[in-house]
Structure 1
Amino acid sequence: MWTLTNNYSNWEALEKEFPWVADMQSVPQDSIHHAEGNVAIHTQMVLQAMQDLEEFQALASWEQEMLLAAALAHDIEKRSTTVEEKGRILSPGHAKKGAFTFRNILFEKGGLTVKEREQLVGLVRYHGFPIWLMEKKNPEKELLKVALETNTLWLYILAKADVLGRICADQKEMLDRVTLFKMMCEEHNCFGKPRAFTTSEGRFHYFNTDEMYPDYEPFDSYKATVHVLSALPGMGKDYFIKQNLDLPIVSLDALRIELKVAPTDIAGNGRVVQEAKKRAKQYLASGQDFVWNATNTSQLMRTQLIELFTDYKAKVVIHYIEKPHKKWLQQNHNRERKVPETVLFKMLLKWQPPSLFEAHEVFYYEEE
């Protein structure tokens, strides 16, 4: 059974095992919301509070291991985001940044499927979401999106433990908010599971338009299908295309060679992208299916492309490819045009596998 560590009951051992745990000792917290003290004290209290919960005790042992890992790491990036402003201690963006950090930790460790790892990452990313759900502009849509990215039963347990594992005057109010989160999950049929959509097209339409009804089924007559590759360099995109997609290809790597542009040439790469989009528009205008072959490792990159493709009434299919960390580094090292490891590790800082709501269809190909 996968586990992040065997030392959850021994904080001193955890500090020796993980430098990021040792960092927690020196990270202060605002006394209004965390009168218990620093992040290390809070995290220990969360771990204990979680294990005392009946909901946690009712889980299978492998689920408990997943939740303990998320609880240990939920405030991992308060160390880099904590600031003092007007006498208050704040940690803006710590959950979002912590998700990136935790993804890299889990990727290097291995032993999880992409889905399992991303659910853990989602727990860190959204651990405060249950408390703030009703503050969102569209609570229902935000809730259903989060339910696609992580297990909401686990998220409920983590959020409850996060509130119980602190000393604050508004603890009861926050616990009530967490309970409301659970009730909304149950009402929208997404507690411990993603909400079912009739079709992937309906799911895409709901999350990428102003549509308010998740059961609405759009009538779409696609003029073309664009297959968008998403993978870190060295994961095997070219091989995948050769084996599975007999279509015209718009490849950024191929265009760099054609236009004699070095990967480090920022201005030159801008020309490469513009030329790629020009060729893509020609295929789109003529109704030709094609492959867009690039790394597309961040949600922002993919969103910009998908908006372009859907403006031309195209169906978008994302193919995400991943190999285990060690094999990935070996494959890149053996490539004819290998990417420097310093560049790879920099890309990891912004790496986001695609979520199901990003395209009409999203497929994951992984090697365990």
Structure 2
Amino acid sequence: MLERFFPPSFFDIMVHLTVHLGREARLCGPVHFRWMYPFERYMKTLKDYVRNPARPEGCIAESYLAEECMRFCSEFLKKTIHVEEKQVRNDDFGNEVILEGRPISGATSITLSDREKKIAHLAVLMNTAMVDPYLDIHLEELQESSERLRNDATLLWNRHTEKFAEWIKKKIPIDSNNHSETLKWIAYGPRSSALSFTGYIVNGQRFHTKNIDRETQNSGVTYDATSMCRASAKDTAQVPDLVTYYGTLTDIILLDYHVFYVPVFRCQWANKGNGVKVEDGFTLVNLHQSQVSFARDPYILASQAKQVFYSREDDSSNWYVVLKAPPRGYHELEVDDENADVASMPPEIDMDIDESSDEIRYVREDCEGIFV
């Protein structure tokens, strides 16, 4: 039927292929069940085994057996990498001195002011799991001490953040034998001297500060936090809610807790009120706003940071589209073979069914055909 309207030179191999693709997909099912790419790729691997062109089969058999033996032995060796697999670049490589992650740049010694040290130390206390029971104890003591604090949640939280660091230092003295060493030194507080870095690896992700000029963007940070929120500007009642913050990494600091270091990220955050919006299913943030509201809480623990990327709308706009990506080496489906989902097979097709129908006509009737 097509030959009535097109000359013979039009029907090359590509046009001939498209004519049969529809019927082939219906009869055979999805292409990935029957394509030859895996076998062609593996044939290239087998060809690389050949070292003596006069004995290709022997080279392939010997190299294949040697690789199988190495793979088998590597399963019984600790801290090994499988054959022909690249070493994971973003591993944390646990360190007894640094609690989480590892730096990937040279250290710069800095001195924190009393205010900066207090803010960073409070961020560590508020986000450390072993300190959580003492947070509840301190809140209960404050509520019992004053009826005003019991009725005003905002005032209670402000008093809690102001007095908690001093309270827990007295509650857990450094010479106590009833607590772990990590908890005692965290309660005692860090030194004023700290280490600053421009690159850090944690949670399988590689972070760089914003001032590093690189082709890859690794300074975007997002953090999910429980915060006190209001339903509106006129509503004075506050309730805790999960809030997602977006920002950029400006500094990586290792706080010196005398016997170990705790990494914290100092970030420039987008304001939740007028700095974050959702349009057409995309989250947009404004990263060029004042940081006055975050002056008392710019830090998060390195382990809490998740990486995002920002794509600017245009050169004149202050709004950036938030793009999320999984870390290197992440697989969305990581389950055992026995529990893995099996894709559906192509449907069974009756090969005897005649697909042609007299009721359906595909020949154009609005023009005169040309017989070739």
Provide TM-score, normalisation by structure 1.
Answer: 0.19
Structure (1/2) with the larger helix percentage: 1
Provide TM-score, normalisation by structure 2.
Answer: 0.19
